Structure 1
Amino acid sequence: MILLVDDNTELLTSLSEFFSAYYPVKALTNPEDALAFATANRGLIEVSVVDYVMPEMSGDALARELKEVDPNMLVILMSGYVDFERVEPLLRERLIYQFFTKPIDFDRLMRSVDTAVKLYLKKQAL
């Protein structure tokens, strides 16, 4: 399952429609709701695609919480505001799997999600 979290409902709807042709998808606008959903569905979410800048909680804070729920879950962070000095440590710590800038290249994101799902399933099989 793919968990999508973004406070931009228009982008969230587009991403949800795009990914739902290939994967089960849960799309949420609120990070707290996403965390509650992830906790209730522990082990069922392979990949989370999370916006970096949201009013309730930052994407990196949500990524940390999601990794506590399921350390094998892969988190892809996306943002319209590029601050590589803040993103690079998240990649180095393996807190996030990849970072995408908005506007999102859906095909590139799909390739990343496909690879991330395969990595998740491989980790689960070990």
Structure 2
Amino acid sequence: MAKSLASFAPTPTFKGTADVPVAGKGPQPLGLTFRFHDTEAMKALSAEFTALQDKYKATAEAPLSDEQEKDMRTDQAKLVMKIVSAWEFTDDFSVENITQFFVTHAFAFGAIVTGFFQAHSGAKTKN
């Protein structure tokens, strides 16, 4: 049975889940609509993630200032806007709302990025 290359074309967006740690509740699934990125775009995203980590690297001797933490959350939100097109919350999907979400959910950025790469690669999670 012959197939064409077009039959393997990815969809521009696809559903996925990020397991966001919530204090007192453990990881909670957050439904997201992710954006497809081709190989070149994935390389660029990887470079952006690395640059973001390097820019806001804190140590015990040199913690981030309040202003740097605020800037970091905004930069993280802008990066999330590149990989996600919608979320299951009724609140608008915007840089401002994502940034506020990161204020109260410190590990949400990492969970969303992990969910993106798992959904993008088609990786299955354990039951």
TM-score by length of 1: 0.25
TM-score by length of 2: 0.25
Greater Cα radius of gyration, structure 1 or 2? 2
